[in-house]
Chain A
């Protein structure tokens, strides 16, 4: 029915002539054909957002790649001041939080409210443990004067205490600031994503406990899951690049 006929024949609008008679769930938007199309559109939109995030972190990865090749000795020396035990523990913790998030999506699909809230809370706990361990590592960098621009000291790189380390000339030792700048930029931006994620998780737990996602409307949980797994993937690449590939042997 076009606008002309609506204007001239308003009586045809009531009853069966209406485009639809609200036989769909409340969470389905009117401009979608059905729930399947709505879920597909929501997933697609979320993935397009995640692609912009890949480009955002991609710039940092590219900078790391170029500067690591230019100032390789400084990047090796900087990398070896990181604590590989804490780094590996954090990787395992973050993978665990991705697992609990995946289980939260499953719980929402199965419409189990208690289980959904439990897995969302476990994800918050594991995410917070990750940030706690990261804070311990950041504090160690502060104690060692390895934060660029904040009383940065090249002492450890010119006169290394580690017997395996190769002493650097002072001009190359200064370039370790570039390694630590990238370290703080990359892990800091990753941590910021996790803090935002934990904020959203608290909001989702509040709504989930009122049953918002266990009556068929799983899309917010599923899309948040995509975000959380994406943050996990960023760490999966940060971990070998920052901690592993330049060890002294």
Chain B
């Protein structure tokens, strides 16, 4: 679905993502939005939050990979995104570890 233009640098050939890919991702995002809203009206206990966040992560991944071209990008950019997410998860985990182990009975 992509067309390669002339290779300009050994590490970073430029890909042009075609409109059909953007359209497919656009419709997938709309369907997932309708799905997550629909599921929120069904009582699933704690799984309401789990499913809503799982769908949000899926939507965010589609945006990062295709709208933001990371799927077609160099290893440097893929690693940059991964490093950012890893650091974010690390900071959240450390903070939550602290709260879970100190604020007895509140979690």
Contacts and interface: CB of A to CB of B under 8 A. Distances in A.
Contact of B30 (A40, A92, A106): A92
Contacts of A226: 68
B88 interface: yes
B12 A40 contact: yes
A128 interface: no
Interface string B3-42: 0000111011110111100110110011001101100111
A48 B76 CA distance: 11
Interface in B34-75: 34, 36-37, 40-43, 48-49, 52-53, 55-56, 59-60, 63-64, 66-68, 73-74
A55 B90 CA distance: 11
Contacts of A58: 88, 91-92
B19 A103 contact: yes
A62 B95 contact: yes
Interface stretch (A15-23, A65-73, A172-180): A65-73
Contacts of B22: 99, 102-103, 106
B5 to A, nearest CB: 8
B88 A55 contact: yes
Contacts of B77: 40, 43-44, 47
Given A51-B80, A237-B60, A240-B52, A110 B33 contact: no
Given A240-B56, A249-B43, A37 B12 contact: yes
A39 B63 contact: no
A69 B106 contact: yes
Contacts of B81: 47
B30 A240 contact: no
B92 A110 contact: no
B9 A36 contact: yes
A102 B52 contact: no
Contacts of B29: 95, 98
B89 to A, nearest CB: 10
A92 B41 CA distance: 18
A39 B53 contact: no
B58 to A, nearest CB: 10
B53 to A, nearest CB: 6
Given A55-B88, A96-B26, A102-B67, A40 B36 contact: no
A245 B9 contact: no
Contacts of A131: none
Given A36-B11, A47-B81, 19 more contacts: A37-B9, A39-B12, A39-B14, A40-B74, A44-B80, A51-B80, A58-B88, A58-B91, A62-B92, A69-B106, A88-B33, A98-B63, A102-B67, A106-B17, A229-B64, A236-B56, A237-B53, A244-B36, A245-B40
B60 A245 contact: no
A47 B64 CA distance: 11
Interface in A44-58: 44, 47-48, 50-51, 54-55, 58
A34 B29 CA distance: 36
Contacts of A84: 37, 40
A233 B60 contact: yes
A218 to B, nearest CB: 9
Nearest to B81: A47
Interface string A209-234: 00000000000000001100110110
